[in-house]
Amino acid sequence: MSDFPGVRPRRLRSSAAMRRLVAETTIEPRQLILPMFVREGAREPIAISSMPGVYQHTRDTARKAVAEAAQLGLGGVMLFGVPSSKDETGSGGIDPDGILNVAIRDAVSEAGDDLLVMADLCLDEFTSHGHCGVLDSAGRVDNDATLALYAEMGVAQASAGAHVVGPSGMMDGQVGAVRTALDGAGFEETVILAYAAKYASAFFGPFREAVDSSLQGDRKTYQQDPSNAREAIREVDLDLAEGADMVMVKPALPYLDIVRQVRDHVNVPVAAYNVSGEYAMLEAAAANGWIDRERGILEMLTSIRRAGADTILTYWAAEAVHLLDRR
């Protein structure tokens, strides 16, 4: 007979039913957002080698994925376009007939108001140099010239039917420029999900393949330094002052401390992006038999929710719903 007091925390872990009853952190389909890539002119889905199970969609398969997302009760889809041609200014992102705006119209037509259709608002998929903004004569990203294009891009996406636009380029003043343009064009109801704390991360690597990136150099002069935490709060405050409705931390796993700090600091919804490198890392470990894949997926998503994220952008969104149903 042990002599310690009768407090035994293990009693609350004794069965699956008990663990469900006392779970402090839960994941619901409505909290998950599925990022999707739609490729211009694709006749069949194109596998992304660094992200097993993720594809560049055709317009038809994208519509099917949107319909499935609505049926599963996901919170939304975040659309990225993969154009067949690019130029110095990323004009394809503004063109009403560009692949991203076409994909937005397709998604809204498919799901209506049953699913939030979100659009990445950035030029990097559309520029020949792969940067998130236009370049000046010295080859540097011109912040203020880029803002004018973001404003046009936001209006184009809202005109296509996007419920939510996601400025992700980390240009100073981007939220204010987009909010002013949206309101001026009569889109006061369009929501802005600001990529407020987006870090210059190695974990974006597979995403470059997913969007056929043409990046030359790096983005360290405009995305955040991984060393800095206080700066993230400053960025969040600036975006909220400019009119952001929701804010995001990207990536998620290496920055769970930032997710928690942002969640404690603001009173608006906080999203976190479970990025391509996080996805690829777990998938590779599972493929080698080093980790239980399904348990790993749910543990990873739970950790992001536990850190304080209200919503999670994740390539596992649809599969996670099925895993949760079986748990």
pLDDT number for residue 210: 79
The catalytic site residues sit at 198, 250
**Per-residue pLDDT, 6:** 81
Q: What is the value of pTM for the model shown? A: 0.95
For 163, phi and psi rounded to 5 degrees? -80, -30
CB 261 within 8 A of CB 230: no
Instruction: Please tell me the distance from the alpha carbon of residue 118 to that of residue 79, in angstroms, as a whole number.
Output: 6
Confidence of residue 2 (pLDDT cuts 50, 70, 90): low
Q: What's the pLDDT tens digit per position in 4-43?
A: 778 889 999 999 999 999 999 999 999 999 999 999 999 9
pLDDT at 80: 96
Q: Looking at residue 205, what is its pLDDT?
A: 80
Does the CA dihedral 210-73-323-261 come out positive or negative? positive
The pLDDT of 77-101, averaged and rounded, is 96
Largest CA distance in the chain: 80
Q: What is the pLDDT, as a whole number, of residue 1? A: 54
The rounded distance, in Å, linking the Cα atoms of 30 and 209 is 28
The CATH architecture assigned to 26-326 reads: Alpha-Beta Barrel (3.20)
Measure the CA–CA gap between 82 and 43, rounded to whole angstroms: 13
Highest mean pLDDT among 2-6, 87-91, 136-140, 175-179: 175-179
Tell me, what's the pLDDT at 130?
84
